[in-house]
Amino acid sequence: MLRRTLLLIAAWCMVQAAWGESIYAMYEKAVASDPMLKAAAANYRASRAGVYEAGSALMPQFTYIQSENESDITLVGTEGILNTTSEVREIQGSMALIDAAGWARVRSANRSRAAAFAAFDDKSQELILRFTRAYLEALTAVENVRVAEAEFRAVGRQSEVANSRYEAGLGNITERHEAKFQFDLVRVGLIRAQGEVELSRERLIEIVGEPVEVLLPISDSYHAQMPYPEKREDWVELALKNSPMLRQAGEEMKAAKANMAVAFSAHLPVVRAVASKREATQYNFGLRSDLETEDETLGLRLTIPLFAGGGNFARQRRASNQYQAARQNEIAVRRALVRQVRNAYQQVETALGNLRAMRQAVLSAQSAYQATEVGYETGTRNIVDVLNAQRLLYSAQRDTVSARNGFIISLFSLRYATGSLRPQHIRDLAVWQPGTPEAEAFPGRPGDSTRRRQMPPYQDDEDAESEDDAPQPEGDEEGGENEGRQEGQTVKA
């Protein structure tokens, strides 16, 4: 099991020089196989058929009737028997001229169709958020394993040093036990991180619908800044206009109001135009001759409901209460939406500040690691100090990856809350994945600096391009300055 997990992690961490499957390509697979999205699409098609069903009651209706009867009649006082055979052919037609309830049903069906379409739109955007969250959580889990393995190796070296010092008489038993405790603790963390990789992989497979073996990382040079518009209340206003959840609640309220009109129209008169043509032929075998008749009628039929046992009044009360429930639900959705957008905007601000701070922390940890290495070479620092500095650097890198992925998820959550999350946002994110068609489409793509992670991950390079020279995809609202990096430094993943 452990070996299989390690092999899986190695496969996920691999970045090929050839084109790989981007996050957008994997998202397209999720769209093709997600059952919740398919269910929402089926519900929309069903509601659209309901519109035609409701409208059909107002269209002309035609019926054809044909019957044939045979009878034997014994005449009293005689021994004769009259054998009669009759054939009847009739075609009937009618069309509603005045039917308030029928038109109200059409309005209700149209509102239900609009609500189903809003629900489908919401599920489409929810799939984008759900898939992106699962994908980035899987990348975070892989990064956690990488750091846990580095810590495991570093603490193992420390434990070996403590044992050597104890055996040489330079250390005490307490130092040895403390080193052993730290080693066991880090091993537990490594096992937990490896298990989280399997769990995150299964969550992603559930969404994609097929095995997932390789995930391409997001470049460390990913640009992050506050999206446009910059004011929180502008996002709230955008959500009130575009949110599919609010639109669905509003359409459901209008459908309930139309259903109330259906119930209150049940006592109104209905006028229909009617027409019929009837042909009847009677064959008599006995005392009388054959008889043929033909009738044609054209007129108006007035139907006035008088009393239905109280059912109409009960339906009116039920429809009225259902409308009030839908109205209150729309108010609740509106209030919750405002809160969610404001919270999501605050989370984006917090995540961006956290990402910038962690990128600066990586630079500080890198400087500390390099200084410790110099001290080790000059004899002022020992191997334990170097390993501790290495662990801190790996931890800072892990937290930076987690902060970056958290920022992307927060940004997508804000767009989902406002109803503006689109597949193009995943395509823009794929530009920051090296080795993908989306990244290859941009010359000097931002993912060029991303490689398999090696130690140390940051190197001074006088020939490296400045962060301001890195291209960004057109229309990418999160594109901006790459905080926490200095000019002349490249990030290697």
Query: What CATH number should be reported for the domain holding residue 440?
Result: 1.20.1600.10
Same domain, 216 and 344: yes
* pLDDT for position 109: 96
CB atoms within 10 A of CB 269: 11
Q: Is 107 among the domain residues?
A: no
User: Residue 161 falls within a domain, yes or no?
Assistant: no
Look at residue 440 in the predicted model and tell me its pLDDT: 79
> Is 36 a member of any domain?
yes
The answer on 485 and 375 residing in a single domain is: yes
Helix (H, G, I), strand (E, B) or coil at 330: helix
Low-confidence ranges of the chain (pLDDT < 70): 1-20, 72-82, 285-290, 442-493
Number of domains the chain contains? 2
In a domain, 103, yes or no: no
- Spatial distance between the Cα atoms of 268 and 265, rounded to a whole number of angstroms: 5
Query: Does residue 42 sit in the same domain as residue 128?
Result: yes
Q: What is the CA radius of gyration of the chain?
A: 38
Residues 6+ apart with CB under 8 A from 328: none
Pairing mode of beta strands 61-74, 270-285: unpaired
How far, in Å, are 1, 9, 311, 477 from residue 4 at the CA level?
Answer: 5, 9, 67, 40
Query: Closest Cα partner for 51 from 97, 8, 95, 115?
Result: 115
* Residue at 339: amino acid letter: R
Statement to judge: residues 251 and 277 lie in one domain:
no
Query: What is the separation of C-alpha 328 from the centre of its chain, rounded to a whole number of angstroms?
Result: 26
Does 386 reside within a domain? yes
- Note whether 85 and 202 are same-domain residues: no
- Are residues 423 and 385 located together in one domain of the fold? yes
Are residues 459 and 372 part of one domain? yes
Please tell me the predicted confidence (pLDDT) of residue 74.
Answer: 65
Closest CA to 121 of 344, 338, 329, 416: 416
Does the residue 254 lie in any domain? yes
pLDDT of residue 441: 78
Write down the pLDDT at residue 471: 32
Q: Are residues 220 and 79 in the same domain?
A: no
Alpha-carbon distances of 463 from 366, 399, 432, 442, 480, rounded to whole Å: 19, 28, 21, 21, 22
Task: Please state the pTM of the whole predicted model.
Answer: 0.78
Whether residue 462 is found in the same domain as residue 349: yes
Same-domain pairing of 360 and 434: yes
Are 263 and 277 found together in one domain? Answer: no
> Which residue segment(s) compose the domain that 279 sits in?
68-97+273-303
> Residue 204 corresponds to which amino acid?
L
Query: What's the pLDDT score for residue 460?
Result: 33
Among 467, 475, 425, residue whose Cα is nearest residue 446: 467
**What was the pLDDT predicted at 289?**
57
Q: Are residues 475 and 338 in the same domain?
A: yes
In a domain, 286, yes or no: yes
Pairwise CA distance, residues 14 & 226, whole Å: 31
The reply to whether 40 falls in a domain is: yes
